[in-house]
A = this chain, B = another copy of it.
Amino acid sequence: MSDVTGDRSERPRSAHSERGVTPQSEDFSAWYNELVLKAELADRGPVRGTMVMRPYGYRIWELIQADLDRRIKETGHENAYFPLFIPESYLRREADHVEGFSPELAVVTHAGGRELEEPLVVRPTSETVIGEYMAKWISSYRDLPLLLNQWANVVRWELRPRLFLRTTEFLWQEGHTAHASAAEAWAEVQLALGMYESLAHETAALAPIAGEKTASERFAGAERTTTIEAMMRDGRSLQSGTSHALGQNFSRVFDMTFQNEAGELEHCYTTSWGLSSRMVGAVIMGHGDDKGLILPPALAPYQAVIVPIGRDAEAEPVLVAARDLARQIAAAGVRVKVDERMQLSPGFKFNEWELRGVPLRVEVGPRDLAASSALLASRLSVARSDKVTVPLDSLASVIPGRLAEFHDELYGRALRFREDHTVRVDTWDELVAAVETGFALALCCDSGECEQRLKDATTATPRCIPFDAEPETGPCVTCGSPSAYVTRVVFGRAY
C-alpha cells in the first residue's frame, strides 16, 4: 500500500451530502469511522496513518488539554519542551525501551540538503532525551523531586491506523519526574493516574477501571505500569492514560544521580505518564449512540445550540431573539451557538447537532416568542418529542444546572454500561464468552502462556489488576495453578 493517500478521487463526499451514520449496533467500526468524518472531527491525513484534526475535534482536545494542564500545574508540575529529534544512540541505552519502540520509529536521515552522520529518531516518547537533561540539572536532594510535563506531538509508525485511536502522529502530554526514593516515585505514579481518573470521571463522564498492568502489558522500560481502562459502547476497552514507575532503569543509563542528605551519591527513581488525543476517541466510543456523538458538557465545543425556527417575514425577529438569548446564556458561562444557516431546515439542523453530540438544544419560533418561552431538548432524551418549555427569561439560569445534570446522567450511563457488561467468571468457557461482550473478572496466574492462550482464542488481554477490588485468590481460570495477584484481573478485548 502506498504511504501517501488521499488524492482527490478518494476524498469522501462533503458532510452535507449525506446524513446519518451506520447504526452502532449494526457495525460499530463503520459507525465510528463514518461518525468521525461526518461530525467533522477529523480527516485522514495525506500520509498513511496520519490525521487532520478539524476544528470541532481539535476543540475537544483543547478542552481536555486545558482541564488536564490545570490539574498538572496544581499538583506542582512545570511544563517544559524537549526536542522532537532524538539521536538514535540515546534510544539504544535502555535495552527494553529500544526493543519496544524500534519497530515503530520514523527516522530522519537527511537534513539541510545532506545526509546526517547519525540518523535522528522522531520522538516516539521522550524518556531518553529528558533523562539526559534531568541528569544534567539534578545534583542534590534539594533539586528533587523534579516534576516536569511536556505537551507535544509524538510519532509511532502504526500498521493498523485508526483515527484518534492509533495514528502515526498523535498529540499528548508526557509527565517525567525524578525522585529521591522508590516510595516517592510510586506516590507520583499514583498521583498522575489519579489525575487521569479524575479527568475521565469529572470531565469526560467516563467510568474507567484503574489498576496495574500485568508484566506482558508494561511500558517498555518500566518496572510497573498503571492504567485507566474505559469501556466503549461495544464492550471493548480503551486504555486511556498510563502512568509508569521506571525505577532506576533510566537514571542508571543516563547517570542521573543526586547527593543525598548524608552526602552519598544515589541514582534517582523516575516516573513517566501520558494521556493523548486518543482520549477524544474514548469520548466518541464511550458515549455515542446510533444518532452520533454524545459529548460531555465539559468537553463540548458548544454546550447548547439555539435553532431559530421561522421563514420569510418571521425569520428576522426570531433570529434577533435567538441572538439575544445566546448573549444571556453565554453570560452564564455556557458555550452556546446560534445556528443561523437560514437556508437549512430545522429538521436538518436537529439531525446535525444530534450527530455532533451537542448536549442541549434550544428551539425558538414565532409561537414560542409570542408565549415568551422556548423548547429545551436534551441529547440524552430517547424521543425527539421529549422537550420542556422554559420561559425565555429563565433559560440562562436554567441551562448551567441542566448541563450539570447532563454530566451526571452521562456518567451514570457509562458506569451502568460497564457494570452491565462486566462478568465474574470462574471457568475458561465463561471467560471466553464474557470477553465477547465486555469485561471478565477472573483469577489468573502470571504465566505469559495463559495470557497468550486467551489472546489466541479471543484477542482479549488482561487489561489491569484493579486497585479497588476485593482481595480474592484461587485457581487460575485457564490453567488451575494458584492465582498470582491479590484480586481478580480485568480481561477484555481492547483498542
Cβ of A184 < 8 Å from any Cβ of B?
A: no
Across the interface, name the chain B residue whose C-beta is closest to A135.
B8
Q: A58 touching B83 by the CB < 8 A rule?
A: no
The 10 tightest CB contacts between A and B, nearest first, are A112-B157, A55-B78, A53-B81, A50-B83, A106-B111, A45-B83, A107-B110, A4-B87, A111-B157, A109-B109
Chain A 126-169 near chain B by CB (<8 Å), digits 1 or 0: 00010011001001001000001000110101010000000011
- Contact between A171 and B136, CB atoms less than 8 A apart: no
Complex Cα distance A153/B122, Å? 12
Report the separation of the CA atoms of residues A51 and B129 in the bound assembly, to the nearest whole angstrom: 11
- Residues on B with C-beta less than 8 A from A168 are 85, 111
Q: Which of B59, B89, B116, B148 contacts A78 (CB 8 A)?
A: B59
The reply to whether B45 and A136 form a contact with Cβ atoms under 8 Å apart is no
A433 close to chain B: CB less than 8 A: no
Residues on A facing B (Cβ under 8 Å): 2-4, 6, 8, 11, 14, 43, 45-47, 50-55, 58-59, 61-62, 78-87, 89-90, 102-113, 116-120, 122, 129, 132-133, 136, 139, 142, 148, 152-153, 155, 157, 159, 168-169, 171, 255, 343
Residue of B nearest to A2 (CB): B117
- In the complex, what distance in Å separates the CA atom of A343 from the CA atom of B140? 13
| Contacts A47-B120, A84-B169, A112-B157 known; 13 new A-B pairs at CB < 8 A | A2-B118, A3-B116, A4-B117, A45-B85, A47-B85, A50-B83, A50-B84, A59-B79, A62-B79, A85-B106, A85-B155, A105-B113, A153-B153
Contact among B78, B105, B110 with A109 in the assembled complex (CB-CB below 8 Å) = B110
A90, B46: Cβ atoms under 8 Å? yes
**A155 vs B108: C-alpha distance when bound (angstroms):** 12
Main SS at interface, chain A:
mixed
Provide the residues of chain B in CB contact with A255, threshold 8 Å: 8
> Is B85 within 8 A of A118, CB to CB?
no
Chain B residues with CB below 8 A from A171, complex form: 81
CB distance from A70 to the nearest CB of B (A): 12
- Residues on the B chain within 8 Å of A54, using CB: 80
Q: Contacts A46-B87, A80-B53, A83-B47 hold; do A159 and B106 have CB atoms under 8 A apart?
A: no
Residues of chain B within 8 A of A132, CB atoms compared: 6, 46
Minimum CB–CB distance for A10 against chain B, Å: 10
Please, which residues of chain B bring their CB within 8 A of the CB of A62? 79
Query: Given contacts A108-B107, A120-B47, A157-B111, are A55 and B84 in contact (CB under 8 A)?
Result: no
Kindly list chain B residues whose C-beta atoms are within 8 Å of the C-beta of A89. 4
22 contacts between A and B (CB under 8 A): A2-B117, A3-B116, A3-B117, A45-B83, A45-B85, A46-B86, A46-B87, A46-B129, A47-B85, A51-B83, A52-B80, A58-B79, A58-B80, A59-B78, A59-B79, A62-B79, A84-B153, A84-B155, A106-B108, A108-B108, A109-B109, A113-B157
Tell which of B4, B78, B112, B153 touches A103, judged by Cβ atoms closer than 8 Å.
B112
Contact A107 B102 (CB under 8 A): no
Q: Distance (Å) between the CB of A265 and the closest chain B CB? A: 15
Partner of A81, one of B58, B82, B111, B136: B58
